[in-house]
Structure 1
Amino acid sequence: MSLRIRNLQSFLRPINRRFPQAVWSSRVVTSIRYNSSTPNNNSSRRPNSGEEGSNKKDTKDSDLPATNDEHNELLEKYNPDKSSRVGTPKGAIPAIDHDLASLLKKPKYEYNPENNTNEVTYEFPPPKSPKQLKVEKIREKSKPKSRFKKIAPSLIAAGLASWGIFTYSYLTSKTDPDKDGETGLLRPDKFLPYVISFKHQIDDDHYLIELTRKNRHKKLINNETLFNGKTMWSIEIKQPDINIVRNYTPLPLYVAGTDPVTKEPHLRLVSESEEQGKFIIIVKKYKQGEFSRWITGLNLLHPVEVRGPIVEHKFPGHPLDKFYIKRPQLANLLSKIKPDPEYPEKLPKPENYVYYGAGTGILPLLQLIYSPNPPKGFIEAYLSIHSESNLLDQFKTLNYFAEKIGRVKFHYFIGEKGEHLSSKDILKPTLPNFTGLSDIKLSEEQYREKLLAEKREEVKRQIANGGISNEGKKSITHEEEENHTIPKLDVSKFKPDNAFQQFNIFKKRKTTPDPSFAFVCGPEGYMADVSGKSDLNNLEMVDNGPIGGKLKEKGWTLQNIKRLQ
């Protein structure tokens, strides 16, 4: 029996090592061994009280392990925890599980962490070999670079080059006297460099010269605009040799090309921001005029010093300018001119003007009507020129466009034909439509009265036509129904496509409105005959000269006349 128990212990020893739960096997074997040492015939016999002491002592001695190896094995495998204490088994030895036996039959392999694919990281990974590091470096270099990494060196180089150029230009701008450090197109207190970019002889005495701001493309970043319909201004050009200046009126036009046959320039209106920094002037050449002979004798790209703008007249404020959009600029095609905005009747109407000019004195008027946002009122223009050749054909075309859309009415007097301005051409002044904020309240009251009067007229008309039925419709008799004709087309429901349609189809002016303000510009003799000579000999540069000539006869005063120089 002892041999069988030992064989069973040796059989269960690897199971206990692999499965600690199987500790009970050793205990079962030990219990069997201990119980088997007692004779079978004494196991069923109950000892008496006298024999208990001796049997008890004998049993205690017999329970001891037979050898020291068994004793050590029991101490090694015995678990003192209460949870591991198993009572003396009362049945036979349980059979070994079939799955447990199959596990015991599997071959044993040495554990290798590299073969464990489920493991993600190691607590202490081994260092990579030089070969692995070299392979990883090659793979890193072979990866495609991002777009930013590709262009990053170029961006850095461009930034450094720009910074170097800026630093050089900033440091040398103070030392170079010819360096243009101004960013504006014009300054009224300083002469700025311009160049003659085009020159054309109109006739024997008149020249068209285009001036362009030097380094113009660098000055357009501020979006500066020179022309608008709120001011009439001029520029001063300096002759450096004799140190004198002369005033000229610039026009918002630039040369877009030349005719291959006649060599005349193709002029375009300055309307976009990229067209700023260019304008043309008309210069009359005098035989005794040293300045006019100097400037008309300059070649292309010759530098010219220009100062401005010198404001000659500024139009007063009007409610229409503050609350409503600007008036569209003229265009080189009649169909491209946008229609004027609709102005409400409750606000004062725009002012109307009359202009008297002669020679180059007609240029301030042309500057006014060619500029963006020209005056919203109507202008009656009386222009006196020596011959028709003094006026370019393209000027005549633009003037014709302005006349066809109801903004200006031109009257030309040609000196060669014996035509001159007479007293019958002088218009009488009228009161201005707007003189201050008090006129706004007055105009609102007038607008309410007008609405009430229109409502009364509508009620009277309905009563005269038979009244209004219960459904709100007019009662029409049988005779009226037979004589009923197709109503006229109400053009007020349609919107014009351009200013020409707006004026000629929708609201053509029947009569010419009376002007409330007059402009006079021309030679001294012409101004003395029309309005009298001006007197600006004061610090405020206010015209204190008395009104005379033809305008005085019609009732004009210093309050409603502007004499331009």
Structure 2
Amino acid sequence: MIGIRSIGCRVLANRSFGVRLANQTFYRCKSNTDKSNKKTDKELTSNDANNDKVGNFKVKSTSSPASPAPMDPNSGVSHYLKKDNKPYIPKLKHERLSYEYPGLPNQDDFTKHTNEKKPKVVNRWSRYFPKIITAVVVLWGAYAIKVWVYSPEPGSDSQELLDPKEFHRFIIAHKEEIDDQHFLIELIPKFNHWQYSFYSNYESKSIWNGDKIWSVDVKQPDIMVVRAYTPLPLFFMKSEYTRSGDRKPLLKVIDNDADDYDKQGSMCLYVKKYDDGEVSRYISSKKIGDELELRGPNIEYKFPYHPLKQFHERPIFRDLPSKIEAENLVEKIKKVNNLPEFDNLTFYAAGTGITPILQVLLSRNPYRGFVDLHYSAQKPGELKPLERFLFFLEKLDRIKLHTHYDNIKNSRLSSKDVAKPESSGYISPLHLEEKEEKSHQLSPEEALKLRMQILNGDDKYQDQIINDDLRVHRYKNAIEQAIVTSKESKKPSSLSLVCGPDGYIDYVAGNKHAEVNEQGPIKGLLGEKDWDNSNTYKL
């Protein structure tokens, strides 16, 4: 009890001390405030005495010039300018108000439900349908104007890559200058409408076929002159390196594939510029991107029929000879069907006249016989980009190349390079019938009997056609087969073709009457070796 009382006395003493300290502080602040107020009153009294004079009147600035004007505290404006420090407490429930627009002046409860239009419903279909209709109408109008007002370019709607009756436009995709006079020009068609019917009819639509030699007419539009050129199934393979100029495009053979439309209809022209040749100078002056007008194909020569064509097709030439298939079944086909060998061919070419035989050897269905190629030129190097293909063809044992240059002594073509013709291995039944009728005058009944014997395969005439000395062997590829066949002796040629300038043709096979489109008699080197019009043709 005594301890509790002592603690209570101490607490009361502390409280009384705090009260006395607060009272003393209050009286001191009040006395200081009274003194300052008295001092201010004295200053105002002295200022009033001095302000009695108008000249000495001055307004003491109590605030900065940028501060607003003082307000009367009794006006109540300052109350609204005070910042509200009350915290924001969001309401959980809101009382929302809706407002309905009043009706029209002449509208009442009976008419507003009947005369008022329903609001338009806007959805995705109603939003885009007018735009679609507008776009269709605009496109249809543009197409109608193009069809009826602007006539299409010749050949733009053709279903054929080439047409022998009208000129088609081709674009120069690449131009390689071999020397000052020789150029190799790649052409691609300007329009692609012909591709729609190409894939389904590839056999008839493809222009590359080794069973015939064909050419195109190139027009010089300034003077309306045309000249025939033989296209080659070649194209230039390009890449980012060739487009930047780091490398030259690679010349390759068209694989005759229907999937890529024979490399989009590409072809190459081997052109020699003559000083007096209007068309050659016109073509050689063109640049990449310019256009040429072509018409064709014009069939220059078609090889004689041979029954082996129905049973066997020689594999097409490829850039890599190791990828070319071997002709393993050809000997078996000949033996089973009693078919003779294909006739060998000798081709005499000068300058750009080598293009026809290259077209035949590099196209689909290449010539199945062996080819002796005699090439004449002024100097070596005129066939620089084409020498690679000639080298591979020789390694495949398909050709034998003989070069004759004017600037090399004892190199020109002479009679020692020409051999006598060999009789054809295949004699058609019609030819046998004509030969038999000439030797023996037969009556109509005997001629009919002879014809039936030939068609039925009488042994008497089969012995003249069939050669039974055949053998069969299998090879992995054409290179392996060529190693074996190149060691075998070749039969002399039964057919010869000549192509080149007029002077060269006259020297080799006699003059050709081009004005009347006649071959003329066989003279020259071939005429001296008993060649005639039955086994010689001048291109």
Query: What does residue range 392-471 of structure 1 map to in structure 2 within 5 Å?
Result: 392-393=384-385, 395-418=386-409, 419-437=411-429, 438=454, 441-442=458-459, 445-446=462-463
The amino acid of 1:304's aligned partner reads: L
Query: What does residue range 1-16 of structure 1 map to in structure 2 within 5 Å?
Result: none
> Within the alignment, does 1:231 sit opposite 2:212 as a pair?
yes
The amino acid of 1:374's aligned partner reads: P
Corresponding residue for 2:334? 344
- Secondary structure at the residue paired with 1:529? helix
1:549 to 512, 524, 527: 524
1:174 and 1:210, CA in 2 relative to 1: closer, same or farther beyond 3 A? farther
Corresponding residue for 1:272? 257
Give distance in 2, aligned partners of 1:163 and 1:434.
66
Contact 1:225/1:276, CA 8 A, preserved across alignment: no
Q: What are the Cα deviations for residues 388-444 of structure 1, in whole angstroms up to 9, with x where unaligned? A: 220024x22211221122211111112222320011000110111112134965598
Give distance in 2, aligned partners of 1:406 and 1:234.
27
Corresponding residue for 1:250? 231
Give distance in 1, aligned partners of 2:419 and 2:148.
56
Give distance in 2, aligned partners of 1:298 and 1:448.
53
Contact 2:235/2:253, CA 8 A, preserved across alignment: yes
Give distance in 2, aligned partners of 1:445 and 1:163.
73
> Within the alignment, does 1:363 sit opposite 2:355 as a pair?
yes
Q: What are the Cα deviations for residues 171-200 of structure 1, in whole angstroms up to 9, with x where unaligned? A: 617842426121210011111111111111
1:212 to 188, 211, 214: 188
Corresponding residue for 1:315? 303
- How much has 1:327 moved relative to structure 2? 0.9
Q: What are the Cα deviations for residues 143-196 of structure 1, in whole angstroms up to 9, with x where unaligned? A: xxxxxxxxxx99xx9xx9799679927961784242612121001111111111
Give distance in 2, aligned partners of 1:166 and 1:496.
64
Contact 2:160/2:194, CA 8 A, preserved across alignment: no
Contact 1:357/1:522, CA 8 A, preserved across alignment: yes
Give distance in 1, aligned partners of 2:523 and 2:153.
49
Corresponding residue for 1:198? 174
Give distance in 1, aligned partners of 2:475 and 2:461.
28
> Within the alignment, does 1:500 sit opposite 2:479 as a pair?
yes
The amino acid of 1:427's aligned partner reads: A
Give distance in 1, aligned partners of 2:305 and 2:390.
26
- Secondary structure at the residue paired with 1:390? coil
Give distance in 2, aligned partners of 1:166 and 1:558.
62
1:450 and 1:178, CA in 2 relative to 1: closer, same or farther beyond 3 A? closer
Query: What does residue range 292-331 of structure 1 map to in structure 2 within 5 Å?
Result: 292-322=280-310, 324-331=311-318
Which ranges of structure 1 fall in alignment gaps of 5 or more residues? 1-152, 455-490
> Within the alignment, does 1:176 sit opposite 2:151 as a pair?
yes
Q: Percent identity?
A: 33
1:289 and 1:496, CA in 2 relative to 1: closer, same or farther beyond 3 A? same
- How much has 1:215 moved relative to structure 2? 2.1
- Secondary structure at the residue paired with 2:342? coil
Query: What does residue range 155-174 of structure 1 map to in structure 2 within 5 Å?
Result: 168=143, 172=147
- How much has 1:349 moved relative to structure 2? 1.4
1:222 and 1:433, CA in 2 relative to 1: closer, same or farther beyond 3 A? same
> Within the alignment, does 1:333 sit opposite 2:311 as a pair?
no
1:354 and 1:449, CA in 2 relative to 1: closer, same or farther beyond 3 A? closer
> Within the alignment, does 1:519 sit opposite 2:503 as a pair?
no
Contact 2:220/2:278, CA 8 A, preserved across alignment: no
Give distance in 1, aligned partners of 2:465 and 2:188.
53
Q: What are the Cα deviations for residues 175-230 of structure 1, in whole angstroms up to 9, with x where unaligned? A: 42426121210011111111111111111111111111112376354232111111
- How much has 1:286 moved relative to structure 2? 1.6
Contact 1:532/1:548, CA 8 A, preserved across alignment: yes
- How much has 1:289 moved relative to structure 2? 2.3
1:235 and 1:287, CA in 2 relative to 1: closer, same or farther beyond 3 A? same
Give distance in 2, aligned partners of 1:330 and 1:449.
29
Which ranges of structure 2 fall in alignment gaps of 5 or more residues? 1-127, 200-204, 430-453
1:535 and 1:347, CA in 2 relative to 1: closer, same or farther beyond 3 A? same
The amino acid of 1:246's aligned partner reads: R
Give distance in 2, aligned partners of 1:253 and 1:162.
46
Q: TM-score, normalised by structure 2?
A: 0.62
Contact 2:340/2:467, CA 8 A, preserved across alignment: no
- Secondary structure at the residue paired with 1:355? strand
1:285 to 262, 273, 288: 273
Contact 1:536/1:542, CA 8 A, preserved across alignment: yes
Corresponding residue for 2:202? none
Give distance in 2, aligned partners of 1:166 and 1:423.
72
- How much has 1:248 moved relative to structure 2? 0.7
1:444 and 1:533, CA in 2 relative to 1: closer, same or farther beyond 3 A? closer
Give distance in 2, aligned partners of 1:163 and 1:321.
56
- Secondary structure at the residue paired with 2:482? helix
1:401 and 1:172, CA in 2 relative to 1: closer, same or farther beyond 3 A? same
Q: What are the Cα deviations for residues 220-268 of structure 1, in whole angstroms up to 9, with x where unaligned? A: 5423211111110110011111111011110000111278578543111
- Secondary structure at the residue paired with 2:165? coil
Query: What does residue range 128-139 of structure 1 map to in structure 2 within 5 Å?
Result: none
- Secondary structure at the residue paired with 2:527? helix
Q: Give the structure, 1 or 2, with the largest relative contact order (CA under 8 Å, sep 6 or more).
A: 2
1:220 and 1:204, CA in 2 relative to 1: closer, same or farther beyond 3 A? farther
- Secondary structure at the residue paired with 1:429? coil
1:177 and 1:509, CA in 2 relative to 1: closer, same or farther beyond 3 A? same
